[in-house]
Amino acid sequence: MNKSLIADATESKSWPFEEARKIIKRLEKNKRDVVFETGYGASGLPHIGTFGEVARTSMVRSALKILDPLIKSKIICFSDDMDGLRKVPNNIPNAKVLEDNLEKPLSSIPDPYGEAKSYADHNNTILKDFLNKFGFEYEFMSATEQYLAGNFDDTLKNILQNYDIVSNIILPTLGVERRETYSPFLPICHETGKVLMAKVLEVDKEKNTILYFNQLKNEEVETSVLGGKCKLQWKVDWAMRWVALGVDYEMSGKDLIDSVNLSGKICRKLGQVPPEGFNYELFFDENGEKISKSKGNGITINEWLKYANPESLSLYMYQKPRRAKKLSFDVIPKAVDEYQTFLEKYSNQTIAEQLNNPVFHIHNGEPNCFKVPVTFALILNLVNASQADDKTTLWGFIRRYIGDIPKDAENYIDKLLDYALSYFNDFVLPTKTYKEPSEDEINELNELSSRLDGLKRDADAETIQTIVYDIGKEAKYENLRDWFMALYQILLGQEQGPRFGSFVALYGIDKTRELIKRAINKELI
């Protein structure tokens, strides 16, 4: 046991350790195994928000292991696949399959993709596949399986015994009409298989049954609340899971704060302390709208992984979880380079600093550190300027610029080249717009070309950067950023880029002079 590591972790201000200390405090009077839970609604394809919840929860669990290695724990990834489908998502093929099965449990609806035994099973499989791809440790749990197996029966009996108390927690939050028909229990019609929003007429606490009015049959029906004959309204269902599964920690989105409070009240009435957790901020798409499974907006896991490494996605989830963030394709390059920066700093940091470094939490305290001599932004601009469409050409530039490359860095760069080619072709190339240089800018470009010609062909990036700075100062730019922006717009057809000296050193002085010549001759426009 590393006492120094534990001591520093106890004082660390990184949010996973802050959350883990809340769990330690919770266990002071009752030492036992810890249960983490993450919830997933199987009504649509899993999106990055789902991944984020599991990734962040895993970080808290890892922090807990460091604070107290003797505490055993597990993460339950729970799928609400017994919910009735209320509307058809926008991004689903063969929508009629879902339209014909509205109000049925997700696990009872045929798979519109034609790949799985049910719609829920299809979505659950995708969820498990991407969680496995990231190497998460978790126990998958299906609501349908748990209800049907009777694993929730004891807690369902408890809720039935406290039927009025539980109902009265929820009723004040509902509209007048909804209060008239509300019941914590949603019976499942044995003929249609639909989850009914039915009015409950009587409760029999000895027989564990409810009597409800079935509008479809226009008659009163008695049914057991056990064994999957009923399911709970979701806020009550959430509290039921906390009790039945002994959940100690669950985080959720800021939009669910009121629901967390209501479920917490129900949990206490059922005799258990609600789990610890915090409310993270939401993700928004490029239009500022909340990402949604039913809309299919935002970025999917596979889309991110087409353009960037998995670690960059984990970093994006780690950073500032209590701040709303845009989740669109233009955030990807920055995330890749930020991960690289944090990784390269790690080896030279103290233990206390390492505990606050995101890569510690991304890699469960064991990052493989190595220096990467090129950034993702630089590679993107190399693809842009060279118009290369294969890795062989790009490797030619990189090896000339760098020389010998350690194996870890070589493998890492090779993957970056794949990501850069995909990202450039899908996002940069379609939007490239070159600026026509003014007379003053042509003079400045000619001067830059001339001074570059006077350098040794292996001049380093700093020497080149100094020349670019000097020309900008001599040209009397009030803000040198305007000079660099002009270079990017004229030579690369974009608003910004990496350090220009680094780009020239990588691309080559002669190649850069050719690029300047083509820009002056308006061959790029």
**Residue reference for tokens 């749990």:** 141
Cross-strand bridge partners of residue 36: 75, 249
- DSSP, collapsed to helix, strand or coil, labels residue 223 as strand
What is the tens place of the pLDDT at every residue in 456-513?
999 999 999 999 999 999 999 999 999 999 999 999 999 888 899 999 999 999 999 9
> Which regions of the chain carry the CATH code 1.10.10.350?
432-520
What is the tens place of the pLDDT at every residue in 13-46?
999 999 999 999 999 867 779 999 999 999 888 8
Q: Provide the pLDDT for residue 384.
A: 93
**Strand pairing report for 209-214 and 283-284:** unpaired
Q: Provide the pLDDT for residue 301.
A: 81
Q: Provide the pLDDT for residue 184.
A: 97
What is the tens place of the pLDDT at every residue in 201-214?
999 999 999 999 99
Q: Provide the pLDDT for residue 298.
A: 66
CATH architecture of 432-520: Orthogonal Bundle (1.10)
DSSP state of 427: I
CA distance 421 to 458: 26
**Residue reference for tokens 């991407």:** 130
Which CATH number is associated with domain 3-283?
Answer: 3.40.50.620
CA distance 304 to 362: 17
Q: Provide the pLDDT for residue 130.
A: 85
Instruction: Please answer whether residues 277 and 18 qualify as being in contact, where contact means their C-beta atoms are separated by less than 8 angstroms.
Output: no
Q: Provide the pLDDT for residue 54.
A: 95
Helix (H) or strand (E) holding 200: strand 200-204
pTM attached to this predicted model: 0.91
Q: Provide the pLDDT for residue 325.
A: 84
Instruction: Please answer whether residues 412 and 372 qualify as being in contact, where contact means their C-beta atoms are separated by less than 8 angstroms.
Output: yes
Q: Provide the pLDDT for residue 525.
A: 77
Q: Provide the pLDDT for residue 187.
A: 97
How many C-beta atoms lie closer than 10 Å to residue 492's C-beta?
A: 23
Under-70 pLDDT residues of the chain: 1, 29, 288, 291-298
- Strand segments, DSSP code E, in 146-198 are 185-187
Give the phi and the psi of residue 200 in degrees, each rounded to 5.
-90, 125
CA distance 206 to 224: 11
Instruction: Please answer whether residues 202 and 211 qualify as being in contact, where contact means their C-beta atoms are separated by less than 8 angstroms.
Output: yes
Cross-strand bridge partners of residue 247: none
CB-based burial label for 364 (10 Å; 0-12, 13-18, 19+): middle
Which DSSP string do the residues of 302-313 spell out, in sequence order? HHHHHHS-HHHH
> Which regions of the chain carry the CATH code 3.40.50.620?
3-283
Give the phi and the psi of residue 222 in degrees, each rounded to 5.
-105, 135
Rounded to 5°, the CA angle 53-57-58 comes to 120
Q: What is the 3-state secondary structure (H, E, C) of 28-68?
A: CCCCCCEEEEEEECCCCCCCHHHHHHHHHHHHHHHHHHHHC
